Chains A and B, each alone.
Chain A
Amino acid sequence: MSTRWYPIYQRGNPQLRVFLPNFWMKLVRPTEEQPANVVTFAVSTEMTKHDVKNYLEKIYKVPVVDVRTRIALGETKRDQTYGYVTKKDDVKLAYVTMPKTEAFTFPDLFANKAEQQEKEEKSMDESKAGFRKFLERNKKRPGTPGWYSI
Chain B
Amino acid sequence: MLTLRRGEQLRARLNAACRRYLAIKAEPKAVTVAESEYSAEPEYPAIRDMSFKGRKLQSAAEWHEEIRQVPTVEEKMIKINMPRYYGYKVVDLNDTKVPFNALPLTQHYTRTVLEELPPKQAEPGEEKVDLDATVKVARNDIIEALEFAHDCYKHQLTLLDTPPDAVTREQQLTQIIVEQINRSALQVLSAEYPHLNEVEIDYNPRHEAFWAVGGVDPPKNVVKSKKGRDWQKADAYDSVDRLVQYTGEPYLALRHRHQLPTWKTPEESENLTLANQLPRYKHDARTLGYSTKYQHAINVPGYWPSVNAPNFGMLSFQSRAHLQLRPQACGERDQLEALHALGIQSSYAWLLAQANYNGFNTYNELTYPLNTQTVITNGREWSFYEYQLNTLLVHGPHVDSNARVNFCRGTAPQPLYAEISPEGKCVDFNDGTLRQLLTLYINAPSIQRTPDELMPYVSGPTLRRAADYENPEQREFLERTFKHLASKRPRHLELPEIYMWEKLYKIDNRTRAMEARRRFFERDINPWKRTLDQHDKEYVPRALRPGGRKNREERFKKTYYP
Contacts and interface: CB of A to CB of B under 8 A. Distances in A.
A66 B330 contact: yes
Interface string B84-106: 00000000000000011100000
B509 interface: yes
22 contacts: A32-B220, A33-B217, A33-B284, A34-B283, A35-B101, A37-B101, A38-B287, A65-B329, A65-B330, A66-B99, A66-B327, A68-B289, A76-B508, A78-B509, A85-B504, A85-B505, A85-B509, A87-B504, A95-B287, A99-B329, A100-B101, A100-B334
Interface of A: 31-35, 37-38, 63-66, 68, 76-78, 83, 85, 87, 95, 97, 99-100
A97 to B, nearest CB: 6
Contacts of A32: 219-220, 283-284, 287
Interface of B: 99-101, 217, 219-220, 282-284, 287-289, 327, 329-331, 334, 504-505, 508-509, 511
The 5 closest A-B pairs by CB, nearest first: A65-B329, A78-B509, A34-B287, A85-B509, A66-B327
A56 B330 CA distance: 16
Contacts of B101: 35, 37, 97, 100
A32 B286 CA distance: 10
Q: Is the interface of B mostly helix, strand, loop or mixed?
A: loop
Contacts of A83: 511
A31 B217 CA distance: 13
A65 B100 contact: yes
A84 to B, nearest CB: 8
A97 B283 contact: no
Contacts of A63: 329
A121 B297 CA distance: 61
A35 B283 contact: yes
B390 to A, nearest CB: 29
Contacts of A38: 287
Nearest to A30: B287
Contact of A99 (B283, B284, B331, B511): B331
B242 to A, nearest CB: 14
A100 B334 CA distance: 10
A83 B505 CA distance: 11
Nearest to B329: A65
A63 B101 CA distance: 15
B283 A33 contact: yes
Please indicate which of the listed interface residues B99, B330, B509 has the most CB atoms of chain A within 10 Å of its own CB.
Answer: B509
Contacts of B289: 66, 68, 97
